[in-house]
Chain A
Amino acid sequence: MQIKPGLPWKELPLGGVIDVPGSSVEFHTGDWRSSRPVIDLNKCTGCMLCWLNCPDNAIKIKNGKVEIDYDHCKGCGLCASVCPVKAISMRREALEEEERHGSKHKP
């Protein structure tokens, strides 16, 4: 069963059994991130090493290409560290934010 916050305790599954496999996908760890990986698909050779090594399974495959799942990526930078052609760069979230909103606030 799907357990939502606020569910009365009497309705919780017996023994606190979690019966939705992989339900942690609903918990977004992306907001832990202080740097974000950005993939340059022109450099990417499709070796899939980043996909293989991401501890958070936050690299998805879409039409044969790798793509970051920013809802879950914690910004550890391991993907960038294993990329043999340096196609992944880590960018400070604060700078990204500034670019998006044109803020003059110094990060």
Chain B
Amino acid sequence: MNIKQLAEKIGNNSWFAPGHRLCAGCNAGIIAKFVLNFAQFKGYKVITVLATGCLEVATTIFPYTSWKTAYMHNAFENAAATASGIGAALKSLKKKGLLKEDYKIVVFGGDGGTYDIGLQSLSGALERKHEFVYICYDNEAYMNTGIQRSSATPMLASTTTTPSGKVSKGKQQPRKDLIAIAAAHDVYAAQTSVSHLQDFWKKLEKAFNDQPAVLNVLSPCTRGWYFPPDQGIKIAKLAVETNYWPLYEVDHGRWILNYEPKQRKPIIEWLKTQGRFKHLLQPTQENEKLIAQLQEMVDKRFEYIKKLARATSE
């Protein structure tokens, strides 16, 4: 990606219009805009499909829309099924000679809409090999309805349904591995971050050329993670630098690690930036143990990805 060329081509005519009502500093806005900018730059015609969630709710408040692409919202649980239907309709229209142009279908779902309630429709659509690019903007909880835990919420994070307090230290279970699940459908699946737009761009190029494809993008949320609105991108970057959020891809069974920090930062650096982990910061024995456990989990997971990358390289 050459930013200046991109800016020259898109200018003030981005397909993602201002005036949406995402919170100030919400990183989901950056992700949506970047994906549309990419498609616009490449000259694709796009149909966007959204699962219910912050991005959908905030960009389509009647009588306004922030989308300049064709757009469809159906429900929380069926974004990928909706995309399948659109794909089938396009095929049929083409067959009848009623449609000439090619369209790309881009789906946006939150982590709740992807890891949890929309997982079965996503799995079905991936298995049937419908053509679409699925973008999960992962803010690690159900933010739109008030910060309930999802299967993407990290262990020990405090949410409104896993509150930290006397009896609990936040969510008890580790997060689900979405990319491994998507990759099990023998497709292109990759993880990237809003802080690494060059990496994101490369993965979009691969995804648009090898559909169906799934991208999981870390999307810091000021309200749910509790940080000031100017910190999102820095926090996303720290997630990569601590190996909490490795940048990797699985290209039809072949695992590739895209980035390894020279010296990974300790996980505490990442925890410190967000109020949802505040209860772990008092220097008690219990907290030290919990943070050590988390550190071990992060390191193990990173080694696991490296091992898979070695094992699956030709």
Contacts and interface: CB of A to CB of B under 8 A. Distances in A.
Interface in A1-56: 3, 16, 18, 20-29, 32-33, 46-49, 51-56
A53 B63 contact: no
A105 to B, nearest CB: 24
B14 A57 contact: yes
Contacts of B16: 57
Contact of A55 (B19, B33, B69, B231): B33
Contacts of B231: 81
B7 A26 contact: no
Name B's interface SS: loop
Contact of B7 (A52, A72, A78): A52
Contacts of A54: 30
B7 A51 contact: yes
Interface in A46-92: 46-49, 51-58, 60-61, 69, 71-72, 74-78, 80-82, 90
Nearest to B222: A76
Contact of B233 (A20, A47, A51, A78): A78
A60 to B, nearest CB: 5
Contacts of A26: 19, 64
B112 interface: no
Contacts of B132: none
Given A25-B17, A47-B3, A55-B26, A18 B62 contact: yes
Nearest to A19: B65
B24 interface: yes
B17 A23 contact: yes
Given A55-B27, A61-B7, A61-B12, A29 B60 contact: no
A76 B229 contact: yes
B55 to A, nearest CB: 11
B188 interface: no
9 contacts: A23-B64, A25-B18, A26-B19, A27-B21, A32-B24, A48-B6, A52-B7, A55-B22, A55-B26
Given A24-B66, A27-B19, A55-B27, 10 more contacts: A23-B64, A24-B20, A24-B61, A27-B21, A29-B20, A47-B3, A47-B4, A61-B11, A72-B18, A75-B24
Interface of B: 3-4, 6-7, 11-12, 14-22, 24-30, 33-34, 59-69, 197, 228-234
